[in-house]
Amino acid sequence: MSTRTYQFGKHRPTGLVGRRDLGEQAVLGCGAGGGIACGFLFNSVPLLAGLSLALPIVLALVIVYLPYRPRGTSQRRTIYRWWRINRYRKKALARTGGVWVSPAVEAGVRRDGTPPDTALTSPEGIAGMTWVPVTVRGQQAVVVLQPEAGCVTSTLEIASPGLGGKEVGEQVVALERWGELLDAFGNTEEHPVKRVQILARQMKSDPYAHRRFVAQRDESAATASAPQWLRDSYDVLSDAVSTSAEEHRYYITAHARFTRDLAADGAARGAGDEGIAAAMAAYMEELWARCEDADLSVIAPLDEGRMTAFIRNSFDPDHAIWDTGIPRAHAFPRNMDIRGGGYVATRAAGSTNSWYHATAAVVSWPSTPVGPDFLAPLLIGMPDVIRTMAITQDLEPNDKAVERMLREDTNNQAEMIRDRQRGKNIDPRDVIAANATGSRGMALAVSGAAGASVVGYITISARSEAELEKTKRTTASRARNAHLRIEWLDLEHARAVANTLPFAGGIK
């Protein structure tokens, strides 16, 4: 059986001219316009006119084209690219001084055991949230309302070995069924759920935990009178148990924009936040059914305890993800230090050691045909790395997807014609990417399938700065093996980590 391959188109800026985005072209245009105006203004003095003509143009070129690397970072970007990041960082440092401290410990609890509102403050980089408990198919779940982001999210935990654990034929079938799930939401104009996030969380587990349990069992008084044949049989059984040094968890998050349709549906089901949450619970029941149609086994929706444990484990991997007994107020770590440009450091209450986290964005998807398991080097190829990979897909109806494809194809063809006219050699990867865009458009036109904008993020965690740097190099190497190009989000790791939490963020 031949392996089916998939192609990704190459993203190109949609500016007025050239390959720069609209903001960069605006800077270049203002520099040229300002230089010409200054040249006319001082035309009576030739030397001064020449300097005033050249200075704004050179300044604009430096801002747009000259890359540099600030202290404490690993990425080289232009002044234009760093400007927005530096502005966010200065505001973040001004708000917290660089170290956010959770108020949960000092705030305590009310007489009824619930935390006060002051204990539920979110750390830097995470929008304010309201958690509303609901019931989905008879099981407890939580709906997260984010008023600042204007969205509502909820998450299902999936029991799946992932594509890496399937045969090639099963991988192709799984992707086709997943496409049918996306079509069901993307091609429905009035459906509020237009974004789906897939999360793969990989954690270290103890491969010797079972043997320690056996040793403790043999020393306990409860087994002192057990016959020897029973002990021997249990030892044989424990030797046959396969233990892994890594544990994988998979999640699917549904994201609904707070639109007029969602508000109307929520008002019909209840008042205020409870009505919106009830409407989202109905959408989660639909997502659950679609997952079953796609041969994805749903373990359970994330309730308050599971959500709290997931967030806590993301910032503090020492906390077991299956320990769901902690209150929501302690979902975030005690301290979050954002002063390091290449990482964000977090420390749990009662601990003297910090965890260091860094997040990378996928800035380039494969430009050559790849198999359905092309992400395997990142998902199962790093057994010693604690990480979360998030892939978020923003859905759009078929007709809009085809229109967007036509715009991208026009940009691709225009760039290649321009290169030919200049006598430049055309990058064969650009030709492959342009062909992929055209073939994707044909597939959309023939199948009527929904389109999707895809973004990817990966967050890694380590015990020290040195270990984190080593893990970064490993991750970059595995990303190249997966035909991806990643970029570390230096100076903004605090809010970048939130893109790998079950809130379906990180995409415009």
pLDDT at 265: 86
Report the alpha-carbon distance of residue 374 to residue 484 in Å, rounded: 9
The answer on pLDDT for 263 being more than 80 is yes
Question: Of the given ranges (86-95, 159-168, 220-229, 344-353), which has the lowest mean pLDDT?
Answer: 159-168
Chain segment 31-89, per-residue pLDDT in tens: 989 888 888 888 888 888 888 888 989 999 999 999 988 887 888 899 999 998 999 88
CA-based nearest residue to 209, from 243, 233, 235? 243
* CB-CB contact of 344 with 115 (8 Å): no
The answer on pLDDT for 223 being more than 80 is no
Distances (CA, A) of 80 to 24, 62, 75, 221, 340: 7, 9, 14, 70, 22
Reduced to 3 states (helix: H, G, I; strand: E, B; else coil), residue 176 is helix
CA-based nearest residue to 364, from 432, 288, 264, 282? 432
Look over the chain and give the mean of its residue pLDDT values, rounded to a whole number: 83
Residue by residue, DSSP assigns 35-56 as HHHHHHHTTTSHHHHHHHHHHH
pTM for the whole thing?
0.85
Instruction: Read off the tokens for 104.
Output: 């949960």
pLDDT at 49: 83
The answer on pLDDT for 218 being more than 60 is yes
pLDDT at 150: 86
Q: What percent of the chain has pLDDT over 90?
A: 26
The mean pLDDT value for 288-316 works out to: 89
DSSP lists the bridge partners of residue 159 as 297
CA-based nearest residue to 357, from 329, 338, 378? 338
Q: 99 or 246: whose pLDDT is higher?
A: 99
CA-based nearest residue to 505, from 197, 168, 61? 197
The answer on pLDDT for 217 being more than 60 is yes
Report the alpha-carbon distance of residue 266 to residue 151 in Å, rounded: 13
DSSP secondary structure code for residue 18 in this structure: S
Q: How many residues does the chain have?
A: 508
Give the number of C-alpha atoms closer than 13 A to the C-alpha of residue 222, restricted to the C-beta side: 4
Q: What percent of the chain has pLDDT over 70?
A: 87
* CB-CB contact of 22 with 13 (8 Å): yes
pLDDT at 115: 78
Instruction: Read off the tokens for 462.
Output: 């380590």
pLDDT at 1: 42
DSSP lists the bridge partners of residue 257 as 151
Chain segment 432-473, per-residue pLDDT in tens: 777 777 777 777 776 666 677 889 999 999 999 999 999 999
DSSP lists the bridge partners of residue 142 as 133
SS percent in the chain: helix, strand, coil, step 5: 45, 20, 35
